[in-house]
Amino acid sequence: MTITGLITAVLIGIVVGALGRLLVPGKQPIGLLVTMLVGIVSALIGTAVARAIGIPTATGGIDWMELLVQVVVAALGVALVSALMGGRRRRTVVGGRRRSGLLR
């Protein structure tokens, strides 16, 4: 893979991650970097799935069906990572000390 192909894969992965995150309802407790990483991995997995089910992935233009598969895989990935990271974040204390009702 050339450097141009790698940069293109990263950019497509970022877009796929953002679109996948938009498809998942509710607020996801994951950051932008995690969304980008999920998108990049999902783009690679989505391409492999598209090839496995017979969708042409090397056409002269934009491969809309491949992109659709990638976005669906990204939505599943975002939902999975959100569920895994959400359980960990809920247990942390945010905001420091609580104020006593006596000092108001």
- Please state the domain extents for the chain: 12-81
**Assessment of whether the complete model's pTM goes beyond 0.75:** no
Q: Which residues contact 43 (CB under 8 A, 6 or more apart)?
A: 9, 12, 13, 16, 70, 74
- Please provide the average confidence, as pLDDT, over all residues in the chain: 80
What pLDDT, on a 0 to 100 scale, did the predictor assign at position 76? 93
What pLDDT, on a 0 to 100 scale, did the predictor assign at position 9? 79
What pLDDT, on a 0 to 100 scale, did the predictor assign at position 52? 93
Q: What is the pLDDT of residues 38-78, one digit of tens each?
A: 998 988 898 889 889 988 777 777 788 888 898 999 999 99
What pLDDT, on a 0 to 100 scale, did the predictor assign at position 102? 58
Inter-helix orientation angle 64-90/3-23, to 10°: 60
Confidence of residue 2 (pLDDT cuts 50, 70, 90): confident
